[in-house]
Amino acid sequence: AQRVTQPEKLLSVFKGAPVELKCNYSYSGSPELFWYVQYSRQRLQLLLRHISRESIKGFTADLNKGETSFHLKKPFAQEEDSAMYYCALSPYNTDKLIFGTGTRLQVFP
């Protein structure tokens, strides 16, 4: 079965602390993986995708095929990072995204 699991519903940290949002996937093949973010009162938007190996707003994510994980990391959290984060998978040769249940990140001052 194709599935994305985000085990944490809520992650709370203080400003300046490191952050790691966990994402595990189940897929028999080479997936395309994404992180989406939804800030308060804003629409869902793409944060980053694994294929481009980019860093956006200080966030990075590395695909680990052995552990089937795509964890999102940031070394020093900022208050403006507080948002809902969704990990998503796009199966090969399909036209859809499979989302996890999301993790709410709260960054306290």
CB atoms within 10 A of CB 98: 18
| Tokens of residue 2, six digits | 């194709």
> Among candidates 42, 21, 43, 23, which has minimal Cα distance to 33?
23
Is position 3 an interface residue for other proteins (rule: CB under 8 A)? no
| Tokens of residue 9, six digits | 């519903």
Stretch that binds other proteins, among 16-24, 37-45, 64-72, 75-83 (CB under 8 A): 37-45
Q: Return the residue of 8, 24, 32, 60 that touches other proteins, per CB under 8 A.
A: 32
CB-wise, 11 or 97, nearer to other proteins? Answer: 97
CB-wise, 28 or 52, nearer to other proteins? Answer: 52
> Among candidates 36, 5, 39, 24, which has minimal Cα distance to 107?
39
- By the criterion CB under 8 A, which residues form the site for other proteins? 4, 32, 34, 43-46, 49, 51, 86, 88, 90, 94-102
